[in-house]
């Protein structure tokens, strides 16, 4: 148990002391991520004052329009993580693995990240966030390749996100529960504000983009249809719908009060040859790890996300995660 107000730095060091033989390198990686998130929090709070809103006039590897802040925050993450504690990096905004400069020592961890999830929301002043995942690098490899990143989500040693909203909140798991740290701008530290966060098993709230309903698979049509029937339907209760179009914001709400977040497979994606919307390495795996550590559940609607074998740095998957009983119901409908 930690005292509310414990700094993230102190929390990381105290956790390190519990591991005999720890070198401190893992702690340094986490601190590097925290430093990057502090810088990004400052940038997002200034917005148009420093001219960082709007399109950059380029596309990422998925063919999506890049915002100025996508590129800026990606550079911030790379700079912070190129201090000799990581072995290599992979980002949603980069085509290939990022290898550290030749004069930088190699650490023993691989870090993947989405530097600014929901970046289009920046233009309308809605919450955005950074998502990250940490796995172990193979021994004796100086410049890890994409193949070295193809590890199951169950191999993650840490995952987290930083939400940039009315306050900046770092949410972190190292496989021993989920803790939240709020950035105190006066002292420049993330301070523990919620410990051992748990997602309620039941909920009356779902988050999905209903504009795509006509493309959904029949089991998803059934599930959302039953929710919309409310107290008169088979569920026997009324549901509320939410949709922020920022995974970090959606998952943070679920961690705070429960709910289910769904980005399902649909016929439009299949026709385009896509395997889903969200990225396995940069979004689904780290968020799945966090949700499971908070007592929730994370699936593709058919199987556990963290047991999927990655095949590509930018592999996409369907996502259903949040309150356990609702995710189990959705997954049961799809596997019937």
Residues of the chain with CATH 3.30.540.10: 8-194
pLDDT in the model for residue 56: 64
Residue 36 pLDDT grade (very low, low, confident, very high; cuts 50, 70, 90): very high
pLDDT in the model for residue 60: 66
User: Would you say 211 is a known binding-site residue?
Assistant: no
User: Would you say 91 is a known binding-site residue?
Assistant: no
User: Would you say 140 is a known binding-site residue?
Assistant: no
Instruction: Give dist(CA 204, CA 202) in Å, integer.
Output: 7
User: Would you say 328 is a known binding-site residue?
Assistant: no
pLDDT in the model for residue 1: 75
Tens digit of pLDDT for each residue in 289-329? 999 999 999 999 999 999 999 999 999 999 999 999 999 99
Tens digit of pLDDT for each residue in 239-274? 999 999 999 999 999 999 999 999 999 999 999 999
pLDDT in the model for residue 65: 66
Tens digit of pLDDT for each residue in 43-97? 999 888 877 777 766 766 666 667 789 999 999 999 999 999 999 999 999 999 9
User: Would you say 114 is a known binding-site residue?
Assistant: yes
Residue 317 near residue 278, CB atoms below 8 Å: yes
pLDDT in the model for residue 21: 82
Tens digit of pLDDT for each residue in 110-131? 999 999 999 888 888 899 999 9
User: Would you say 177 is a known binding-site residue?
Assistant: no
Tens digit of pLDDT for each residue in 144-185? 999 999 999 999 999 999 999 999 999 999 999 999 999 999
Instruction: Give dist(CA 245, CA 250) in Å, integer.
Output: 8
User: Would you say 55 is a known binding-site residue?
Assistant: no
Residues of the chain with CATH 3.40.190.80: 205-335
User: Would you say 118 is a known binding-site residue?
Assistant: yes
User: Would you say 92 is a known binding-site residue?
Assistant: yes
Tens digit of pLDDT for each residue in 134-147? 999 999 888 999 99
Does the 205-335 domain belong in CATH 3.40.190.80?
Answer: yes
- CATH of the domain spanning 8-194: 3.30.540.10
User: Would you say 119 is a known binding-site residue?
Assistant: yes
pLDDT in the model for residue 57: 66
């Amino acid at each position: 148990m930690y005292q509310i107000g414990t700094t993230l730095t102190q929390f990381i060091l105290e956790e390190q002391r519990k591991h005999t033989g720890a070198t401190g390198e893992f702690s340094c990686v986490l601190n590097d991520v925290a430093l990057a998130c502090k810088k990004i929090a400052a940038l997002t709070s200034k917005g148009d004052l420093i001219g960082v809103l709007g399109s950059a006039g380029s596309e990422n590897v998925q063919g999506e329009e890049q915002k100025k802040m996508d590129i800026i925050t990606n550079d911030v993450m790379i700079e912070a993580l190129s201090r000799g504690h990581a072995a290599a990096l992979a980002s949603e905004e980069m085509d290939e693995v990022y290898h550290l400069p030749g004069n930088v020592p190699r650490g023993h961890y691989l870090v993947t990240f989405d530097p600014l999830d929901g970046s289009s929301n920046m233009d309308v002043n809605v919450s955005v966030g950074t998502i990250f995942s940490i796995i172990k690098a193979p021994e004796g490899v100086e410049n890890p390749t994409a193949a070295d990143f193809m590890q199951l989500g169950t191999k993650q040693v840490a995952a987290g996100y930083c939400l940039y909203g009315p306050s900046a909140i770092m949410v972190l798991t190292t496989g021993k529960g989920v803790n939240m740290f709020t950035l105190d701008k006066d002292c420049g530290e993330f301070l523990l504000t919620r410990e051992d966060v748990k997602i309620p098993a039941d909920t009356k709230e779902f988050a999905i983009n209903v504009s795509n309903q006509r493309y959904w698979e029949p089991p998803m049509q059934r599930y959302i249809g039953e929710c919309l029937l409310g107290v008169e339907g088979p569920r026997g209760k009324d549901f509320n719908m939410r949709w922020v179009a920022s995974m970090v914001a959606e998952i943070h709400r679920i961690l705070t009060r429960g709910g289910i977040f769904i980005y399902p497979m649909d016929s439009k994606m299949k026709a385009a040859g896509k395997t889903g919307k969200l990225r396995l390495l940069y979004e689904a795996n780290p968020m799945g790890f966090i949700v499971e550590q908070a007592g929730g559940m994370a699936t593709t609607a058919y199987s556990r996300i963290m047991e999927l074998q990655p095949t590509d740095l930018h592999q996409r998957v369907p996502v259903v995660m949040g309150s356990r009983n609702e995710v189990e119901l959705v997954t049961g409908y799809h596997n019937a």
